[in-house]
Structure 1
Amino acid sequence: MIVPLPSFNYRQFLSGLKPEDLFIKRGNFTLITDFGEFVRGDRVRARTSPEINEAIDREIAATVRFYASKTHYEISKRIGELDNEWDIGRFIEFRAGVVSMIGVMLGLKKSKKWFILPLIAATFLLQYAILGWCPPVPVLRRFGIRTKQEINVEKYALKALRGDFDRVASQ
């Protein structure tokens, strides 16, 4: 999840974007900020409404543009935050584990009817593994929980801004 910095208003920034703002120039390097193309084939994105995907893409672009004028230290700090950001798969797995544990404990202590909770959690996990979708996914996506690919797109765009790939580009 992207947490905006207190001194930066994402809504105000996004409302001022024009088509020519799709590129960031940094020295001899031009970075495309239309990130939707880089996450094609993502099963979660394929089953998420286009409005939510576009909002997440705009947020990634805004973050990358924001960090385009920042120091290497600030960019590195953001990359570290991205390394620790939970993707939607991790959220689904964590919540399924918690629901399963609660269901088993309540099933053993209170009533066998609580064993339905681990069954539901396992069904959601199976559905997510096969389809890339389960009922909690749309809710989590509305809260801005991103896929691993979306997080990596932002991370590698920031690494490019930081200059990590300058040697590769010059060869």
Structure 2
Amino acid sequence: MELDLAKEQLPSTKSKVNDRTPDHINQQIERETEASVNYYKRQGEQEILARIKELDHEWDTERLLEVNMASIAFISSLLAVRANRKWAFLAGASSAVLIQQALQGWTPPIAIFRSMGVRTVAEINREKKALQNLLNKPE
């Protein structure tokens, strides 16, 4: 019973970032994605394929958070060993941010990334799927 209760309290990993992002930001990202797809409707196959390749390399919110927090943890750990042990608190804080993101789907860095237009994997994949559909449409 306790396990079931814990599952209900944790956000879905599929939508946790979108659920915690203000609607106006989600809508802006959606409008930009739609505008991109509409632009590529008027482009040739090679341009669409090039855009899909770009999307394969686009960094999503989770990757950006992981790299940033791991970098902070690594650098602050080095500073803790070399300069002052107080730097270890920063390493701990960056680890706490990652735990918070995994459990709640929200952290201050994610809010900043979203306001900058950084998309989730699902949002990137929606654009890719729409572009792939353009390639598969009969003329």
| TM-score (normalised: structure 2) | 0.87
User: Which residue does the alignment assign to 1:107?
Assistant: 80
User: Which residue does the alignment assign to 1:118?
Assistant: 91
Deviation at 1:106, TM superposition (A): 0.6
The answer on 1:158 being equivalent to 2:131 is yes
For CA contacts below 8 A with separation 6 or more, give which structure has more relative contact order: 2
Higher helix residue share: 2
Supply the distance in 1 between the matched residues of 2:49 and 2:104 (Cα, whole angstroms): 34
Supply the distance in 1 between the matched residues of 2:34 and 2:84 (Cα, whole angstroms): 50
Task: Provide runs of 4+ in structure 1 moved above 6 Å.
Answer: none
1:149 counterpart letter in structure 2: A
Structure 2 gap segments, 5+ residues each: 1-13
Supply the distance in 2 between the matched residues of 1:117 and 1:154 (Cα, whole angstroms): 37
1:50-89 matches, cutoff 5 A: 50-89=23-62
Higher strand residue share: 1
Deviation at 1:58, TM superposition (A): 0.2
Deviation at 1:132, TM superposition (A): 1.3
The answer on 1:135 being equivalent to 2:135 is no
Deviation at 1:131, TM superposition (A): 1.3
User: Once superposed, what is the RMSD of the aligned Cα atoms?
Assistant: 1.1
Deviation at 1:133, TM superposition (A): 1.0
Seq. identity, %: 38
Aligned residues: 125
| TM-score (normalised: structure 1) | 0.71
